[in-house]
Amino acid sequence: MAAFRGSSASASRRPSKAELEPARVVVPFEDNRLLTQLLGEYDSHLALIEDRLGIDAHAHGNVVILTGPPPACDIARNVLERLYARIRKGETIGAGDIDGLIRHARAEDTVAENQAQIATRRKVVKARTPTQSEYMRAIQKKDLVFGVGPAGTGKTYIAVAFAAHCLEKGLVERIILSRPAVEAGERLGFLPGDMREKVDPYLRPLYDALYDVLPAEKVERDIETGIIEIAPLAFMRGRTLANAFVILDEAQNTTSMQMKMFLTRIGEGSKMVITGDPSQIDLPPGMKSGLVEAVDLLKEVEDISVVKFVAADIVRRDLVAKIVDAYEKPK
């Protein structure tokens, strides 16, 4: 099993005798019917907690018994209790939720009580890492936010969820989602079909996020009426986007001129979120990324926030984080 690693703050001091002696923690749960979901198929959720925290965990009746280093058992108890609370609300949980809560706990020495969240009609989206909490709060407070970092950190999903929340609360009149249609060396002109068929593959992740946080019939109706607009970046030129929640995804593939054009589209009553991964730039060699340039130029501007994600914030699954780490190691 994986050895428990505490936060950097606790690593700077020598553990006390009490911390070194194994603890035995009994965590009770009221409703046995919910335990199957909590424990996972064949107790897979418990096995994951054991592996991540270096403890022993087994269920007996309506309790879970944890044995191991006291700090690790405290984290495991908090994680189990929070997962159980989500299940009682009708939410589904998976390995990503467990990893996220454990990362939260390790980073802050305890699972954050003030964990940020976004409520939409279909679900409540909760921050799984401290950086996600920072990102949610930045979007709430600022009119322009950059979310920069590797794939799988929730940058786009959280932005779309926040846009859906603002639309449902009447804080904006529409949602505008955009991406540059430049990926992996392909260009629209070389793809088959009409313009809608050409651009849809590039915009599919935005559709997927929308359908996850809003009822399908509402998404389809709002797209039909123009309340939700999903379009390639080239369609933004010459427009002023007022009273809207505007998201530019995959912004690492914008040129300097495209980024400047997009940034100057923001109008009164609007919020803008720009996401991207500078390590996955598909622009021609020698062409500077508009995202990289904008983050550098605007980082000190008031009412603009730059939130940087790292591999530890990846919430898809642990394997994705390991892949990103391998690619980021010095060659």
Q: Domain segments of the chain: what residues?
A: 8-108, 117-328
CATH level 2 (architecture), domain 8-108: 2-Layer Sandwich (3.30)
> Measured between alpha carbons, how far is 203 from 206 in angstroms, rounded to an integer?
6
pLDDT of residue 112: 46
Q: What is the pLDDT at residue 322? A: 67
pLDDT of residue 296: 92
Q: What is the pLDDT of residue 105?
A: 67
pTM of the full predicted structure? 0.64
CATH architecture of 117-328: 3-Layer(aba) Sandwich (3.40)
Residue ranges of the chain with pLDDT lower than 50? Answer: 1-14, 16-19, 109-113, 184-186, 188
Residue 197: per-residue pLDDT: 59
Strands 23-28 and 304-308: unpaired
pLDDT attached to residue 234: 82
What does the pLDDT read at residue 199? 58
pLDDT at 193: 55
| Predicted pLDDT of residue 270 | 93
Q: Mind listing the pLDDT tens digit for each residue in 23-79?
A: 889 999 988 888 889 998 889 999 999 988 889 998 988 899 999 888 888 889 989
